[in-house]
Chain A
Amino acid sequence: MPDLADIVIDQVKKKFPDAAPKLKVAEIQGLLSLGKFDEVQKIIDAIPDKRGAEYWAMTLAKADTYFSFGKHEEAEKLYKRFFAANARPTPALASFYRDSAYKYAQMLLYIGRDKDALEAYNLLSAVKLDEELARRILAEKAELMLKLAPLEKNVSAKNALLMKADKVADKLLWKQDLWFGKAVVFKAHILMLQGKSQEADELVETYMTQLKTIHDSLREQDPDGTYGMLRMSPMPQCRFLLGAIKEKEAMKLADGGEANNAKILDLLLGSRNPQTKKRKGNGAYNHFLNVFIRYPESQWAGECGQRAEKLRAFIQDRFNTKIRQSVTSDQMAKVRQMQFANAQLAFSQNQYKEAIVKYEEALSRFPEVPESVDALGNLAICYIDESYGGNITPEEKEFLQLSADTVVGHISERFSEKPDMMRSAGDQLRRIGEHYGEMKLKAKRLETYELFFRDYPNHYAAAQLMMSFAQTAYNSENYPTALGYYKSIATSYTNSPYYYDALSRVSQCYAKMGETTNSIAALQTYVSKLAAKDSPGHMLITGQYRLASQIREYGVSLIRNGETNESATAEQKADWIKEGSKYIAQAAKNFAGVSRLLQNPDAYQLNSAERKVNSEIKENSALLYALSLTMLQSDNAETKKKLRLGAIKAFEKFVAEFPKSKSAPLAQLRIGTLYTINEDMKNAQEALDKLAKEYPNSEQAKNSVPMLAAALIEMGLKGEGVAKYRQMLSAGGKYTAGQFLNAAIALEGAREFELALQAYDKVLEMSKDIGHKAICLIGKAKCLQQLKRSAEAHRIVDEFIADKNLSKLQQFVDANMLLVDIASSEAKNEKNESARISLFNAAVDAIKKVRAYKRPRDIRNQPIPQSKWTPAQRLDDARLRLLSAEVVLRQLDAERKFGTKETVAETRGKVLANMQSGMLMSMDTSDEAIAPVIEDLCYKCVPLLIEHGHYEDAIADCDLYLKLFPKGRWVTEITTFRNQAKTELDLNKNKK
């Protein structure tokens, strides 16, 4: 496909032959912006006509780029070559020569070579200029001469320069336009520099009418000054000039002691009229004040205001007198408004470069007034948009981004404690944050909001925004970050409407992070705060119920751990069971508390939805209360019996109160189970008969034996439960394959792996269903793995994966994930190096297969490009990549055990290559969806980097972590790692 730009350029060349040089330049602009000067030179060298416009246009474009890259000497050489070769430019080159000479002079001014710039202006005499341009050049030359003259040490040279400037100014007095006004300013300035301040004053007075006419004409064209024309008015410049020179003279005299006081006052406030004795009001202070009040739109107004203020203080200090303040707040506001108006105009027209210059200028005059805040917000937007605009060098881009961050930091800090500006400054930060969001720069958006949250905690929108950030992090499963936000709300915004919700979410975050005790403690705080409210309503019921359920779940998990954890000592197990029992007792109390509250339900429900939920909670609480009682432990047999009787009573109460509940059959079965354990066979039989009679179609009635077994195990009577299952397995054909499968799964859960294997085999014998087969093979492999029969487990999984039919099922993923576990744990203990490596490779390959299997596809089964994956898909894939890295990490552990120092270092390098280059540096760290993986990755990578001696990389990773997760889970650890890396780095430097 042809390049569209080339086609357009060709057509323009045909239609407008004069544009050829400019088009040639456009062709090489891309190469120039990349700094490929040699390539550009080759193109230039290929041009046959070395005197033509195209040749020179390209040569000077190269010079301009040299200049922008800071290579001023190279740029100047090319310009000088051009002027030397074209001392008398041909008509074809005339306009190009004119523009180049002017640009050359401006370049020299930019780098502070004013004298050379003055010479450069003379180059323009080689071409004919139109009148407007010629007058402008004359004015610029005169201005430059006036700038150079005071620096000239040689008196005669200085005077000559002033004479020259005067002549130039005279040339401008021939026509009454803007340049006429400038000429008056120049002439007055010349007189002042010659020490003739009286004459300068008179000159300005003489031309005052003409200056006023020019000023009025400009005002007519630009009444409110928004087009910037009023700023060009010579009138305020004249006054500013007079003021500045008189001020300078006065200050010089001030150093000379009190003898000069009268003269100083004349210079600052005007001399006295010999008749009236009144001051004339033409002193420096009066000029400054005049410009400040009467010409608010002029570029000198701001500075004049400051100078007037400075002189007022000086007069007060030196003469022990106060000048009446005559600037009203309205006048001051008008000046401020006008000072920012021009910048605002450029901003609204998207002329950001120009706006930047104007905003910075206005801000240097009015850095901390109400208008400054909006101006700073706009300035930040200018920098941001410019930095992401096209056609800029990487250096320029970096500078603009640094500038944007600088302004954002300033808004955040400087105005956060100013009551009258805090609100708007906070709003500007939010605006900038959202601007980043619109540009899809999520990390920058987050960074900006972090500043907002840090510096504007009392802003009206802070709590709501923090809640929204917390919710986003929670939904992205970035629980540590969400927790940080929720905690901040719970601590700092106790009066906000989000307070209780945040307290509740704190607990949920802890739960998601697996920190159950913290979650329970947070939930207790939430419930106690709610209970302290006058009308806690429905929230108190749900909160209490959640708390009771969570306590119960934790207690159950402790007891299960005590029963099944084979690596723990008997003492540890007993402790867990005891501790678990305590939690269960507490849960029972809490469930009873919920039931008590709901005896008066109207206090806790306002509508039908709440009524419905409360009713469900009431039912569940009664059932869970009874179930909790069944789990209470005691060493004393008599107490145990009593506890069971208490539980039976609770179940009977439940069945009586909720006979239609779908849990009623379960409760009835439990009554039978408990009587069985208490060896009260009569009541047990009655209970089971009632189950069969009242709930004949229930699962419990149909499966009473396996259910009894499951119930016994759940109540902690594992031995009795397993015995029931054994009875079931020996009975054989009485049960279906589905019932055996349930038994197998329950036995596997109870860690009765041998018996579970038998149950799985039974299912495989009885069923031809491929789904059953898949579950059984995976279950068998898991049991074998638990029984440390890894080779058999490995074989089953390999067969599963190789099977054409099975590999099409969802369990293919489970099989491969199991293989990762089996192969890496086999490898961990494999002394033979090559066997070990091949096992780890098998694990890594299995992950690759899972990644390929899970790769998102469209309805035509075509892979969807990564850029279009959903956040959940991105997270899933990132987790698999992390798992792959973790396998290599396990390999590193194996090397530490069996390998040499060299193989350890080599494997560590491999892990780092995998984690650092392969993942951290290639992933989009600003993608919130994969934040949990990035967080884990940083945490795992840093200690390895330190161990590997890559301290600077370690510090960079720590900084990245702290930037991305300021409220993260491992902030303390990462900070410690950072300090460690820093110390090592410093030590290394010292050694060198």
Chain B
Amino acid sequence: MKTMLGMLIATLIAGAATAQVKGVLITADGQKIDGTIRWKQTSEAYEVVRSGGSVALEMTPDKIRDLIIPEPAALKSAISQVKSGAAAAAIPALKKVIQGYTRLKWDEVATRYLAEAHLAARDAAEARKVCESVISHKPEAAFCGEMAPTYWSALIATDRAAKAEELMGRAIKSGDRRSSAFALIRRGDLILKEGQTAEAHKKALIDGYLRVATLYRDVKDAQPEACEKAAGCFEKIGQTSRAETFRQLARSVK
């Protein structure tokens, strides 16, 4: 059996051309390597230098089980800015995180919020573009993971509803719980966009909002929107008291 080290290609550090961050790399056979890590686009591999060492080990993604990278300090405040409506101010910091943490876990989170910032600035095309830069190397990010719902919004806003629907369909069936919940909410929105009949409101409840409110309670951040929209549908089908219950629920989970 080959040793782990045998599988690695050792190279001498030739100067840090791309960003590198501190973290722990866990290899496929469970070995922990504590040090500085960076992604090398040219060789499509990670380069890790043990703490205190000078030899860089290069390793392709299939040889890695996990990466433990501390959250960049700038990201949290940038996210808060996006959430509080000051999205434009967060853009430079988010771009910096994406650049500094390429393929180092936090770039995907930062991309989500960067895309949200672009959407808030009504630049859906740019939002789509940044999402697709992640999707190009991680195709499942289009229907799985925290960036996916933002990507669908960008697609719908740029008249690519059919593609968004297809991805949402995949997310509902096989995406993670959060993506699935948001896909259901968006599906409810699309049903109502088609028509405002009582039947459409019932369908939006069954195939969208009510499903999230009842069966995706574990996805906390989807609850306020799902409950609020469910309340709207109940209102439209004449169930005012039920609508009120769901509105209260929406308020209580916010």
Contact = CB atoms under 8 A, between A and B. Distances in A.
B215 A407 contact: yes
Contact of A317 (B26, B70, B197, B211): B70
Interface stretch (A5-13, A345-353, A952-960): A952-960
B77 to A, nearest CB: 11
B23 interface: yes
A822 B238 CA distance: 51
Given A70-B240, A70-B244, A364-B217, A317 B71 contact: yes
Interface residues of A, number: 37
Contacts of A69: 241
Interface stretch (A395-403, A640-648, A653-661): A395-403
Given A112-B248, A955-B195, A320 B34 contact: yes
Contact of A410 (B211, B218, B241): B211
A112 B172 CA distance: 33
Nearest to A376: B215
Interface in A359-391: 360, 363-365, 367-368, 376
A416 B173 contact: yes
A318 interface: yes
Interface in A494-523: none
Contacts of B211: 406, 409-410
A409 to B, nearest CB: 6
A112 B177 contact: no
B206 interface: yes
Interface residues of B, number: 39
A412 to B, nearest CB: 10
Given A111-B248, A112-B248, A402 B23 contact: no
A528 B196 CA distance: 50
A413 B239 contact: no
Nearest to B71: A317
B11 interface: no
A414 interface: yes
B214 interface: yes
Contacts of B206: 402, 405-406, 409
B218 A364 contact: yes
B166 interface: no
Contact of A414 (B23, B173, B244): B173
A111 B252 CA distance: 11
B50 interface: no
B180 interface: yes
Given A406-B206, A409-B206, A414-B180, A365 B215 contact: no
A724 interface: no
A398 B210 CA distance: 13
B221 interface: no
Contacts of A360: 214, 217
B34 A406 contact: no
B242 interface: yes
B44 interface: no
A410 B184 CA distance: 10
A112 B242 CA distance: 15
Interface string B215-226: 111100000000
B67 to A, nearest CB: 11
A417 interface: yes
A316 interface: yes
B146 interface: no
Contacts of B23: 320
A409 B238 CA distance: 23
B215 A410 contact: yes
B232 to A, nearest CB: 14
A416 B206 CA distance: 18
B87 interface: no
A251 to B, nearest CB: 13
Nearest to B239: A395
Contact of B210 (A111, A363, A402): A402
A982 interface: yes
A982 B248 CA distance: 34
Given A112-B252, A402-B205, A395 B174 contact: no
Nearest to A411: B215
Contact of A982 (B68, B195, B199): B195
Nearest to A306: B218
Contacts of B68: 316-317, 320, 322
B24 interface: yes
B202 interface: yes
B207 A409 contact: yes
Contacts of B215: 363, 367, 376, 406-407, 410
Most chain A beta-carbon neighbours within 10 Å: one of B195, B207, B245:
B195
B172 A413 contact: yes
Contacts of B241: 69-70, 395
Contact of A318 (B70, B238, B240): B70
Contacts of B173: 413-414, 416-417
Given A360-B214, A417-B173, A959 B237 contact: no
Contacts of A363: 215, 217
Interface in A300-337: 306, 316-318, 320, 322
A816 B245 CA distance: 60
B129 to A, nearest CB: 29
A69 B238 CA distance: 12
A458 to B, nearest CB: 14
A407 B206 CA distance: 8
A933 to B, nearest CB: 23
Given A320-B23, A365-B218, A399 B172 contact: no
Most chain B beta-carbon neighbours within 10 Å: one of A111, A365, A409:
A409
A402 B202 contact: yes
Given A320-B70, A414-B172, A414-B180, A399 B214 contact: no
Contacts of A410: 211, 215
Contacts of A959: 199
A387 to B, nearest CB: 14
A810 B24 CA distance: 92
A364 B215 CA distance: 7
Contacts of A418: 174
Contacts of B217: 360, 363-364
Given A317-B70, A367-B177, A413-B173, A403 B197 contact: no
Nearest to B213: A406
Contacts of B70: 317-318, 320
Contacts of B238: 395
Contacts of B214: 360, 403, 406-407
A714 to B, nearest CB: 55
Contacts of A111: 248
B239 A398 contact: yes
Interface string B185-197: 0000000001101
A883 B177 CA distance: 53
Most chain B beta-carbon neighbours within 10 Å: one of A368, A398, A414, A982:
A414
Nearest to A111: B248
Contacts of A956: 197, 199
Contacts of B252: 112
A459 to B, nearest CB: 15
Contact of A367 (B26, B71, B218, B244): B218
B212 to A, nearest CB: 10
Contacts of B34: 320
A969 B173 CA distance: 30
A959 B202 CA distance: 13
Given A70-B242, A322-B32, A414-B180, 10 more contacts: A320-B68, A322-B26, A322-B68, A363-B217, A364-B218, A399-B242, A402-B205, A406-B214, A409-B206, A414-B173
Q: Which 5 A-B pairs have the closest CB atoms?
A: A70-B241, A364-B217, A405-B206, A417-B174, A406-B210
10 contacts: A70-B242, A320-B24, A364-B217, A364-B218, A367-B218, A368-B177, A395-B242, A402-B206, A413-B173, A414-B173
Interface of B: 23-24, 26, 32, 34, 68-71, 172-174, 177, 180, 194-195, 197, 199, 202, 205-207, 210-211, 214-218, 237-242, 244-245, 248, 252
